[in-house]
Chains A and B, each alone.
Chain A
Amino acid sequence: MQISGAEILVRSLQEEGVEFVFGYPGGAVLEIYDAIFRQQQFKHVLVRHEQAAVHAADAYSRSSNKVGVALVTSGPGATNAVTGIATAYMDSIPMVVISGQVSTPAIGMDAFQEVDMVGITRPCVKHNFLVKDINELAATIKKAFYIAASGRPGPVVVDIPKDVTQRLAEFHYPESVSIRSYVPVTRGHPGQIKKAVNLLAEAKRPYIYVGGGAVQGNASAEVTELVKMLGVPCTNTLMGLGAYPGQDQQFLGMLGMHGTYEANMAMQYCDVLIAVGARFDDRVISVPSHFLSQPKKIVHIDVDPSSIAKRVKVDVPIVGDVKHVLRDMIDLLKQTGQQVPQQHLANWWKQIEEWRSYNSLLYTPSTEFIKPQYVVQKLYEITGGDAIITSDVGQHQMWAAQYYPFKRPKQWLNSGGLGTMGFGLPAAIGAQLANPDAQVACITGEGSIQMNIQELSTAKQYHTPVKVIALNNRYLGMVRQWQEFFYGTRYSESYMDALPDFVKIAEAYGHVGIKVENPADVEPVLREAFSPALKERLVFLDFRTDQSENVFPMIQNGKGLDQMDLPPHMRDLQIAPFENNRDYGNMC
């Protein structure tokens, strides 16, 4: 029996087991929306802006093991989706975005709501397709899901002209797909794995550096097992948080521009570094030449060969799925009984404990102003450290990363690569739909939340009781911090004037809004927001936080990992520089 292209699309999505499609209708996708209307298998979530559709689908994917799906119309619908697509691309999130297109004869005619979606998204997708032949539609959807989720994951755009959705064809969904020009590697080279293990067996100051690849690659169990069996220190990148449990003693915290003192110092002074699904980006190692000025052997495990030796030359590249490679490493270590030399390791830990003892995340408490760090710490306590946290971009994002030690992977959802303000709220909605029983909180700021605040309406419609934790300091905080440090306190356009009454906004959308101005109220209000009475409600907490608070430690542009700007309490300390062969005999 012949069915329409729109029906073929819907049937294909059903075949893929899609639960939710996040989207927004329009002229070019009317046929598809009609087919959606006539089916019950998946739910459509109507957002209020296409950017939010893509962020919600992205977070749905980040917080589960499924491929997120977004559906937008041609022209402005498609261009609105681009920020969301680029966000997912930078963080390697598997997603399929379907965009409507004008009918094939109208393509290139500057038709109403026409835009070259395949051209516009080409640099920010893993792959994209324009489907001109209805007979290729089902196979293209199959390929799109396969490409999105395999290898290094990423978003795939499928652009479908309106006439293709209207024409008729037989529906056959392919059972499998093989693409001769695309064969992702899974297993690492055994010889390279052996070299890596041998390096560890000679290491004096080993360190394991884990990025988002371990989260996306579901390798958290293997990371934890390897770190535990070796007894070595471990750090996570912003994208890797949760891959190794944040409260564990062997975890040194996040590293990078706003990483802990101990995580960054260990990164600089380790002698054998195992990088797992991480890419040595500028916000992590800052300047490559300074990072490499301290000699170290680097093992780099990544599924994407182009991530290896991009910014930093490595000694042992291992291309493969991190989960498989780590499993092979663990098996080899068990088989050979190789270990990290214990005396050296003990000394290394003494050094690390000294660095850790400075407590670089210490901040000055206040009874007068609400400290943003305090809010995040209380949130951690009250949610038992179990909530799924989404964030926007700025100071609040860094405080969330620093003060909420994530227990498990896929618990922390943020736009790490692209740094997209406006990600947090739609992401929280997507995460809540993927995890209906979880507590979901969006840590945001008064700047970021206003970039997609219309999604409060979506949250109402779909009953997603997320808690919005707005750290409202009446500034674009990170911009203000940079202006304070590097632009002589000239706060150019970073003050958020004419702010709305967020409580009234929340109420207008049918939610609960609470303003918090007194530090003493932080804990009780958070308890109330997470109480059974408000379990089913979206609660918008507008915390008026200390305007002058800055994020520390901080590595300035052009500085090295061991040249951090330290928090006030560490500035007067006489910290001895690292010495390679120091005697730790009398310490600790």
Chain B
Amino acid sequence: MRHILSILLENEAGALSRVVGLFSARAYNIDSLTVSTTEDPTLSRMTIVTHGSDEVIEQITKQLNKLIEVVKVIDLNESDHIEREMMLIKVRATGKDREEMKRMADIFRGRIIDVTEKTYTIELTGTSEKLNAFIEAIDRSVILETVRTGASGIGRGERILKI
């Protein structure tokens, strides 16, 4: 099953490689990973999307917690949460495709952020499924390039991951 893990860790050199190294050493999966510093510059916040049985997810959380630099780990799946991913997608936009592409971007609440005679670059934010749906919805052959950030997640309401 797909799980989305939120990790608060010390913003120190090597901390990221410890997390990534743990996943490869123990043969766990990383579907996506995002990381950046928080409002407190000594801390980084990481979101990892992974999949595995309940036992594997339990081990992953325990092993992450064991890393000295990891402050806290939560499995966002355990309660309501919001997740967002951003995608930049460059598409061929010529002839009749040009109008169609603009319309699709609008339907998906995307924004065209760069325009040339032959291309659009569209910024699209949403759940990973929404981004997948956009890719499915347009003609594959017009896609020139995609860049996705991977999902970032946060708990709903009062649920807070903080020291």
Contact = CB atoms under 8 A, between A and B. Distances in A.
Interface of A: 118-119, 122-123, 126-127, 130, 147, 179-182, 304-306, 309-310, 313
Given A123-B25, A305-B62, A306-B63, A179 B55 contact: no
8 contacts: A119-B17, A180-B163, A181-B10, A181-B68, A181-B70, A305-B62, A309-B59, A313-B55
Nearest to B66: A306
B21 interface: yes
B69 to A, nearest CB: 6
A126 B55 CA distance: 23
B65 interface: yes
A122 B21 contact: yes
Nearest to A124: B25
Contact of A130 (B9, B10, B14): B14
Contacts of A118: 14
Contact of A309 (B17, B55, B71): B55
A191 B59 CA distance: 23
Interface of B: 9-10, 13-14, 17-18, 21, 25, 55, 58-59, 62-63, 65-66, 68-71, 163
Interface centre among A130, A306, A313 (most CB of B within 10 A): A306
Nearest to B25: A123
Which A-B residue pairs are the 5 nearest by beta carbons?
A: A306-B62, A181-B71, A127-B68, A123-B25, A182-B68
A118 B69 CA distance: 15
A313 B55 CA distance: 9
A387 B133 CA distance: 71
Contacts of B68: 126-127, 147, 179, 181-182
A181 B9 contact: yes
A304 B66 contact: yes
A181 B12 CA distance: 12
A301 to B, nearest CB: 16
Contact of A305 (B21, B25, B65): B65
A122 B17 contact: yes
Contacts of A122: 14, 17-18, 21
A180 B58 CA distance: 22
A447 B62 CA distance: 39
A182 B70 CA distance: 8
Given A181-B68, A305-B65, A306-B65, 4 more contacts: A118-B14, A180-B71, A306-B62, A309-B58
Nearest to B14: A118
A280 to B, nearest CB: 13
Nearest to A182: B68
Given A309-B58, A310-B59, A181 B69 contact: yes
